[in-house]
Chains A and B, each alone.
Chain A
């Protein structure tokens, strides 16, 4: 048994220590972003000055305009946005449809098929990428966006989506369906009118997870895309890194523009993001 003053003094000390440690680690996490933003506004001669300039001596907003002349940045942007959107829509639709069936419709072979699907989640993407490349070449789909859209929807990403949606639908009471069925609703109506509205939180989770994954996907675009105009942001930026070499101010203004939208959405819907990742994050 310790005397009260001593133990509360120790408590304050440990609280202070906690704050200090957390501040230090948070700073390390945030510094790259500060440096990125800071560099993006710099004149070329101010990038590597000593001591480092946290706030640029003079702001050069022109960097943000010039970068569009150097690379088809708006194309990268648009490609990333529309591919991510299509993959999210496709994944949420097909995965929820299948997830509902696996959870609620007693059809023959259901468990076997589900097990096969689940076991496929451990297939490394790198194994299927090589035959897929040949397959897509056969179809004439190399250097198109089709593989970037179809592979995630129906491949490992989709399977993962089924898993998430099934877990969700299993918790929905069966009485609800039975009542609707007695009223003469067919399965698709039950799915669309009753199940989907209930499944909104599950769909939100899947949407966030899929969007972040596809927005940041690098390996597939690297394999399937050759033309500059068809590149997505991560691929375009990595190419740009090789090309501009030391023109870091342009590269950083590009990365700021590539990063900010997602971060803004993240700050607005933080709780849902973190919960979603906590629920599904075990995948990667």
Chain B
């Protein structure tokens, strides 16, 4: 991304560039400093205090972090968050990849399917979650009614400790699988035709072509998508808020829900900030890991 500027560094033009450059970026830099950098620093400080809603705060050192380590609820919500992520990501990626492969075939009317699968992406997560809550209703929700028509008595999806999380995961996968699908379609379309022609000449079947041509070529996109989907899953909140409120008996209470509860229901700002920083560190580690791995094994570094 370096492009040489042959213009001289001195002279009125260069000075003009200094002024204009800084002038143009100053609103964003100022806003960014005030609304991102400063709060980021303040949150770190707050995580080291017992900051209440009203009144004075006291510096407590690492006490909040120590308390987190022995907070049974923290480990519970962390486990739930990992459960959600591990449940969602493989399902989402495999389904998105499968759909992308099917939809990048040149078949008649294929656009309709692409649209249908993409529509939930355009829909508000809150609306999507509300409708699914209606469909999951125990006595007479659509899903249980359809099950009843085949003779199965459906369970209380959102009121059952073992089923609430899978139900939320399914809802979330269907909401966003279209997004990853579109990203994969875009990547598949970038693969040079000549590679497929060569594979055909070599007598490779459809499966062989996928594993030896398509998949290696789209690995950078797949990898980036996996990381972004994981990070997104770690921050799941809206659908939990609407569908289960973290219940039943905390079986769907995830990390961000817990942070929100601590901060904005119980007003324990210090503890909530420490929890938020734990989330930040997890995201940070994943991001750094992504950079490292990308350098090492990703097939080509063309896009993204």
Chain A positions near chain B (C-beta within 8 angstroms): 15, 18-19, 21-23, 25-26, 28-33, 35-36, 39, 47-52, 94-95, 97-98, 100-102, 105-108, 110, 113, 117, 120, 122-135, 150-151, 153-156, 158-159, 162, 170, 174, 181, 186-188, 191, 212, 215-216, 218-219, 222-223, 233-235, 237-238, 241, 248, 251-252, 255, 258-259, 262-263, 266-267, 270, 273-274, 277-278, 281-284
Q: Does A30 contact B124, Cβ atoms closer than 8 Å?
A: no
Listed from nearest, the 7 A-B pairs whose CB atoms lie closest are A154-B31, A107-B21, A48-B140, A101-B24, A26-B116, A131-B39, A128-B39
Smallest Cβ-Cβ distance to A273: which chain B residue: B122
Query: Among the listed A105, A251, A252, which residue makes an inter-chain contact with B20, where contact means beta carbons less than 8 Å apart?
Result: A105
With beta carbons under 8 angstroms apart, the residue of A106, A263, A277 that contacts B17 is A106
Q: Which of A223, A266, A281 contacts B264 (CB 8 A)?
A: A223
Interface residue B204 (Cβ < 8 Å from any Cβ of A):
no
Contact across chains for A282 and B183 when beta carbons are under 8 A apart: yes
Q: How far does the Cβ of A205 sit from chain B's closest Cβ, in whole Å?
A: 13
Out of B34, B107, B124, name the residue touching A259 (CB < 8 Å): B124
Cβ contact of A127, chosen from B17, B43, B99, B140, cutoff 8 A: B43
21 pairs across A/B with beta carbons < 8 Å?
Answer: A22-B113, A26-B117, A29-B116, A97-B27, A101-B25, A106-B17, A107-B22, A126-B260, A128-B35, A129-B276, A131-B38, A131-B42, A132-B39, A133-B264, A216-B124, A218-B238, A235-B126, A270-B115, A273-B122, A274-B118, A278-B186
Report how far A120 CA is from B114 CA in the complex, Å: 33
Q: Would you give the shortest CB distance from B44 to chain A, in whole angstroms?
A: 9
Contact call B17/A107, Cβ cutoff below 8 A: yes
CB distance from A207 to the nearest CB of B (A): 14
B94-135 to A contact mask, C-beta < 8 Å, 1/0? 010001001101010010111111111111111110111111
Collect the chain A residues with CB atoms within 8 Å of residue B273's CB.
127, 130-131
Q: How far is the CA of A36 from the CA of B110 in the complex (A)?
A: 25
B46 at the binding interface (Cβ < 8 Å): yes
Q: Count chain A CB atoms within 10 A of each CB in B95, B122, B178, B237 and give the residue with the most.
A: B122
A22: contacting residue among B16, B103, B224, B237, CB under 8 A: B103
A97 vs B29: C-alpha distance when bound (angstroms): 12
A35 engages B42 (CB within 8 Å): no
